Amino acid sequence: MKKTIIITGGAGFIGSHVVRLFVNKYPEYQIVNLDALTYAGNLENLTDVANCPNYTFVKADITDYEAISAVFSQYKPDGVIHLAAESHVDRSITDPFAFIRTNVMGTCNLLHVAKELWKGQMEGKRFYHISTDEVYGALEKDGTFFVETTKYDPHSPYSASKSSSDHFVRAYHDTYGMPVVISNCSNNYGSHHFPEKLIPLAINNIKHNRPIPIYGKGENIRDWLFVDDHARAIDVIFHTGKDGDTYNIGGNNEWTNIDLIRLLCSIMDRKLGRAEGESAKLITYVTDRAGHDLRYAIDSSKLQRELGWKPSLQFEEGLEKTVDWYLANEAWVDRITSGAYQQYYEKQYTNR
């Protein structure tokens, strides 16, 4: 069936994988990638689909109600998959208001514009909000997991802003009958991950023989999911998730930061032809992150049971693939560190 879907944040890490999947898998859909191209947006993530006839890029900021309204009037989407966000916890500690603007106000703008467009004809429409497990707060090392009914208990400005946006999405469902669905996912890893996040940062630092900063004692635990598995879950939930429902997505793959980094160091030693143990000498313990959540772990059994999704890769295999991608795409990282990636839009999309 023909559909127009606006994917927000499609130039970012997860968004670019979702755009690629939808453009390739659904040639009958028109996919509109709506992204403001902040520091985290990189259109070079999507060069392989940029010329596909069912793909359009629109530069717009979700905090700008008028601009979003104009885009929705022009494209009249049947569906929205909303990934655009400020996503880095450390940045939220230094600049919480950027997170409030984009994650809270931006989400509310999208909800309201979609509600106005779909007023009186919600049938067949869907607003899918992509969220995080961080809204649930922190777990002890006690073997419990986040389930969909776990009480929200955010600690960082990032997770507080994502929690707030989740509440607004549910409020638009309950108040206006908006056809919404939400998913809360654990930490993603894979290709095109901006090199300020733990795994790509460590890969880049190891390659250049620079210190690998480990916050605190490295005992914090995260549940890592390969980004393509997240994109597949988004596809399944967008098409078959129940209206008004929430689905947790996770890798069932818990690692302390220090064990993860030791595994990464040993993969890098092998790939770079270094003696075993060489890269691990770069591990450097630094001051802990303020309010650092101890453990995240997702129970994704509802998604597996009801919609038939499951993660496809073992972590060692996914991490090795990720390292291979970064080593084969050094120019991608170099263009981010030099800032050159930010000129791509002007060169490709405007005649300047």
Q: Which residues are catalytic?
A: 133-134, 158
> CB of 215: closest distance to ligand TYD in angstroms?
4
Stretch that binds ligand NAD, among 145-153, 183-191, 280-288, 321-329 (CB under 6 A): 183-191
Which two structure tokens, joined as six digits, stand for 243? 């209206």
Considering just the CA atoms, what is the radius of gyration of the chain in Å? 20
Task: Name the residue number minimizing CB distance to ligand NAD.
Answer: 12
160 binds, among ligand TYD, ligand NAD, none (CB under 5 to 8 A by kind): none
Interior CA angle at 188 toward 110 and 23, to 5°? Answer: 55
**Which residue lies nearer to ligand NAD by CB, 38 or 279?**
38
Residues in the chain: 352
Give how far Cα 90 sits from Cα of 41, 140, 158, Å: 18, 22, 9
Subset of residues 21 to 50 that bind ligand NAD, contact rule: CB under 6 A:
35-38, 40-41
Assess 232 for contact with ligand NAD (CB under 6 A).
no
- The 272-291 site mask, x for binding ligand TYD (CB under 6 A), equals -----------------x--
Q: Measure the CA–CA gap between 204 and 191, rounded to whole angstroms.
A: 13
- Kindly state whether residue 19 participates in binding ligand TYD, applying the rule CB under 6 A: no
Q: Alpha-carbon distance 51 to 315, whole Å?
A: 33
Q: Which residue has the tokens 């795994």?
A: 199
Of the candidates 77, 79, 106, 137, which one interacts with ligand NAD according to CB under 6 A? 106
- Of 92, 188, 248, 257, which lies in the binding site for ligand TYD, with binding defined by CB under 6 A? 257
Q: Of 104 and 282, which CB lies nearer to ligand NAD in the complex structure?
A: 104
Question: Is residue 213 within the footprint of ligand TYD (CB under 6 A)?
Answer: yes
What dihedral do alpha carbons 173, 240, 62, 97 form, nearest 10°? 70
Q: Report what 233 binds from ligand TYD, ligand NAD, none; CB cut-off 5-8 Å by kind.
A: none
Q: At what angle do helices 198-207 and 330-338 cross, to 10 degrees?
A: 100
Binding mask 159-198 for ligand TYD (x = CB under 6 A): ----------------------------x---------xx
Backbone phi, psi, residue 247, to 5°: -130, 130
CA–CA separation, 322 vs 55, rounded Å? Answer: 26
